[in-house]
Amino acid sequence: MPDLRRTTPVAALLPALTLLLAACGGEEVGAKPELPTETPALWNPCDALDAAFVKEQFGVDATEHAGTPTKPECRFTPVDSASGEAVVTSNYLLFPGSLEDAWKTMGQQPDADVRTPEIAGADDARVVVSATDEQLYVTGFVQNGDLIQQVDVVDPAPYDDGRIVRGVEATLTLLSAHASDSGVGS
């Protein structure tokens, strides 16, 4: 299997290279090569997460939505949309710097409740908790090499903030282990 971390940037440059070469003179250059129309995903967070895990960690009977191969977002929504239960979403990005470098560009509020849990196998992790009377918002980030994975949970009141934060940390741990096991982000 090709290393998509290396082939994806090359595939993204092929259209520009083709245009550059085509503009280099009047010689016949032949038929254009078949180029990918979409960038393939490295993996989908749903490869590691499932509805049983979401039920165990967050207490939500959820339906899994795995996104698409080019938009690998994993989302879990309550089976009963009127239940007022949490929605859990996970995605990722490849970032050549550290989570600390990325963190500086995110524009966090100075008074944000930011926690730095120890996540097994991870280079770094952050959890941001924001509670209002109506909802709880918890976002977690975990870095494995150049892979930064994100988990978002939105839980309407009444919510159990301790359980949700523990669930986000467990999700980050599972995603980190999956990234390590699959070699993504190395």
80: number of Cβ within 10 Å = 11
Select 45-182's CATH number: 3.30.60, 3.90.320, 3.40.1000, 3.20.20.
Answer: 3.40.1000
C-alpha closest to that of 149 among 66, 56, 74: 74
d(CA 148, CA 94): 6
- Greatest alpha-carbon span in the chain: 70
- Give the domain ranges of the chain: 1-40, 45-182
Give, in order, the Cα–Cα distances in Å from 3 to each of 8, 74, 122, 140, 173. Answer: 9, 22, 21, 27, 24
- ∠ Cα 28 29 34 (to 5°): 140
One-letter amino acid at 98 equals S
The strands making up 113-115's β-sheet, listed across from edge to edge, are 62-65, 74-78, 87-94, 147-156, 135-144, 124-131, 113-115
Whole-number pLDDT of residue 74? 94
Q: What is the DSSP letter of 106?
A: S
The pTM of this model reads 0.76
Whole-number pLDDT of residue 185? 63
pLDDT by residue for the chain (186 residues), tens only, comes to 334 443 333 333 233 323 323 333 444 544 544 444 444 556 789 989 999 999 999 999 999 999 887 888 999 999 998 888 999 999 998 888 889 888 888 777 777 899 999 999 999 999 999 999 999 999 999 999 999 999 999 999 999 999 999 999 999 999 999 988 877 666
Whole-number pLDDT of residue 164? 97
Whole-number pLDDT of residue 144? 93
* Residue at token pair 């918890």: 138
| 105 Cβ neighbours under 8 A, 6+ residues apart | none
d(CA 135, CA 158): 8
Whole-number pLDDT of residue 111? 74
